[in-house]
A and B are shown apart, each in its own frame.
Chain A
Amino acid sequence: MTGMSDTIIRVENIWKQYRLGTINSGTFKEDLGRWLRSTVLGRKDPFSPEEGEPGGSPDPRRKWFWALKDISFEVNKGEVVGVIGKNGAGKSTLLKILSRITRPTRGRIRGIGRVASLLEVGTGFHEELSGRENIFLNGNILGMANREIREKLDQIIAFSGVEKFIDTPVKRYSSGMYVRLAFAVAAHLEPEILIVDEVLAVGDAEFQKRCLGKMNDISKREGCTVIFVSHNMQSIQTLCTRVMLIEQGVLTSQGKPAQVVSDYIRQSRRYDFVKTWPSVSEAPGNQYIRIRKLELLPDWVGNQSIIDIRTPLQICFSFTCLAADINLCLGVHLFTISGDCIFDVSSVPQQIQACTYEAKCTIPGNFLNDGAYYISLIFVKDTSDPLFYLEECLSFEVEDYRENYAWFGKWMGHVRPAFPVQIRPVSGT
């Protein structure tokens, strides 16, 4: 091993394969049959994981797929590395391999030092044990002696904020308490490498802030190496020294946070903005209404290329009316990704004929909070008779943007209008 002085993790050509579909129904009979065919009769096993070159096109008959393809990278001591990518891109699989929960199918990883990991919501806690006993259990799992853990115990309990329940079995904890305690344990037990998956989204804003601060702290002061997955681009950009982008199991780019993040946002948002249907018969709709075009037009400020909370958004669409003389009213519904309706705006009812119309609606800048949204359209006849409802026809994400704030927790609320609270001095005390 050369140059391992600063390198703390070296990942060499990692591949990971998963079996799709019937993972849980592995029955003895099926495997016995396979074993008989392949070993005794000498035929090729059609389900063999090693068959076929890795990276070859996924064959639907062969129920295997590559979650990670040829990932290689190095991490130096004290770095904070952010991993970004879409859901299902392989980020969590990578963290699972790094924290030794599962093995890679090929390749190897070499590293130095204690690894603490925080994957998904419930960490390595035993349900029946109390919070205190779980702190010890996790410490022991990390390879710490009871004495070392006892020294850290008060700090951990204080940080987690669950003092009152520390002797209650963790099965009675709320998911927020669970995560708080889990993070407190992982961050305080002096790991050399801390691996954190998108778990902090569960806690409240105040706790998220403390966690991100703590991660920053232990990397700066104790030289702990942090690898974390997040969908919060703001925290990725603020905390990380380097960002890696994983797309469909491939490490496509890595480098300076600002660069990788803006590249990622730009390309991942490019596609959904325009949809057109040249032929009426294939267009979505029914015997009254056919949608011909849907478009989301961000009103960029300067050379900006991502939608953030400042960007006004124009929703443009055209539709063909197939019936004559309809008193039509058209509504635009905006929902958050979790399904809460933000608004329902509609047009003035008007008489329309059998031809193609265009409609527009603008969501002003400095109105929506950061988050993912989708739009549904509704066509109503005579103000009460629904003709056609097109659900989730456009979706977009609004990125966070903040100036003059050192705080990067999730901002509360569905909207973030720009009317700040005014403070002025009044005389006297």
Chain B
Amino acid sequence: MSAPWEINARSGWLRMPIRELSLHRDLLFRLVRKDFLASYQQTILGPVWIFLQPLLVTLTYIAVFKSILGVSTDSSPSPLFYLLGIICWNYFSDSILNISFTYTSYASIFNKVYFSRIIVPCSYLLANFARFGIQFLLFLLLFTGFLIMDRRIHPNLFLLWIPLCLVLLSGLSLGTGLIFASLTAKYRDIQNLLSFLLRILMFVSPVIYPLSIVPDRFKSLFLLNPLTILIEITRYGFLGSGDHSLISLGYCSILTLLILVSGILLFNRRDGIVMDVI
């Protein structure tokens, strides 16, 4: 109960947040619930949007990219192809956006009370993961439907790698988000840059097209992007088409770890000096 504490000038770079997260479980889950509920307050359809949003986007993509532009979806049924890409992309990009606003959205609280700041980005990640989980169930439902009706999809043993892919996607979102949270706390202009960067990233990731249509000489360049690897492997596991190299997955794991650790380090470093800046 009476835990000793110390405040000093230097923030610990190497402080990893696992202990703090478990100590403040109740707080973490309260914030997750708040984030989750807050996004559907003052809306007519409420949580229905969780389903509706990806479905509407999928329909739009089918209409624009598939029907009008004739972009290939390999041999996969286009609803499944787009939906999977969209929910993965949404999870990634929403998490990063939310996390990057940590210091701006919580300025009024951070200015008044202390608690381990990293709880906030983690709560954003978990809230987005919950949303992703629900959308993933929707995908599974649709997937089962197609599995029975349609012979073109070939789920395979790569499904076993999907949990790892989701862990990597989460780590990548958290790490990138933390880096941007630390940067935007000091430089507001980074916020504008971020939404631009995310848009570019979406176009160079195989969300609306398969990697297979990318010309061979660019392929290795595209495979440097960890999102490409994660989305392609996930698609391959479920649908049976997509790039699936375990070497890429290994590269992706190392890169994610690096990004996550540097995100945490940067965030820890900012923590404490940042409130004098905002």
Contact = CB atoms under 8 A, between A and B. Distances in A.
Contact of A104 (B7, B23, B30): B7
Interface stretch (B46-54, B259-267, B269-277): B269-277
Contact of A101 (B3, B4, B189, B275): B275
Contacts of A114: 1-3
B112 A122 contact: yes
Contacts of A106: 9
Contacts, number: 118
Contacts of A115: 5, 114
Given A28-B190, A122-B112, A136-B30, A103 B273 contact: yes
Given A127-B108, A140-B26, A23 B8 contact: no
A181 to B, nearest CB: 13
Contacts of A128: 34, 38, 41
A137 B34 CA distance: 10
A138 B113 contact: yes
A143 to B, nearest CB: 7
A124 interface: yes
Given A126-B34, A127-B108, A141-B115, A108 B2 contact: no
B116 to A, nearest CB: 10
Interface string A13-56: 00000110001101110010000000000000000000000000
Interface in A166-184: none
Residue with the highest number of chain A CB atoms closer than 10 Å, among B114, B272, B273: B114
B141 to A, nearest CB: 32
A99 B34 CA distance: 25
Nearest to B26: A140
Interface in B1-50: 1-9, 11, 23-24, 26-27, 30-31, 34, 38, 41
- In this complex, the interface size class of chain B, counting residues with CB under 8 Å from chain A, is 35 or more
Nearest to A138: B113
A36 to B, nearest CB: 16
Given A108-B9, A113-B2, A143 B112 contact: no
A365 interface: no
> Is the contact region of chain A dominated by helix, strand, or loop, or is it mixed?
loop
Contacts of B109: 124-126
Given A26-B186, A102-B275, A143-B23, A123 B113 contact: yes
B161 interface: no
Contact of B110 (A101, A104, A113, A127): A101
Contacts of B251: none
Contacts of B111: 101, 119-120
Contacts of A100: 7, 114
A136 to B, nearest CB: 6
> Is the contact region of chain B dominated by helix, strand, or loop, or is it mixed?
mixed
A124 B113 contact: yes
A369 to B, nearest CB: 32
A26 B27 CA distance: 32
B112 A27 contact: no
A112 B112 contact: no
Given A23-B276, A101-B112, A146-B26, A28 B3 contact: no
Contacts of B276: 18-19, 23, 102
A103 B8 contact: yes
Interface in B202-244: none
Nearest to B2: A113
A129 interface: yes
Interface string B80-120: 00000000000000000000000000001111111100000
A399 B11 CA distance: 43
Nearest to B41: A128
A105 interface: yes
Interface string B157-191: 00000000000000000000000000000110110
A117 B115 CA distance: 12
A397 interface: no
A192 B5 contact: no
Interface of B: 1-9, 11, 23-24, 26-27, 30-31, 34, 38, 41, 108-115, 186-187, 189-190, 272-273, 275-278
- The 3 tightest CB contacts between A and B, nearest first, are A124-B113, A100-B114, A140-B27
25 contacts: A18-B276, A23-B276, A27-B187, A28-B189, A100-B7, A101-B111, A102-B275, A102-B276, A103-B7, A103-B272, A108-B8, A109-B7, A110-B5, A112-B2, A112-B3, A113-B1, A114-B3, A115-B114, A117-B114, A124-B112, A128-B38, A137-B27, A140-B26, A144-B26, A192-B2
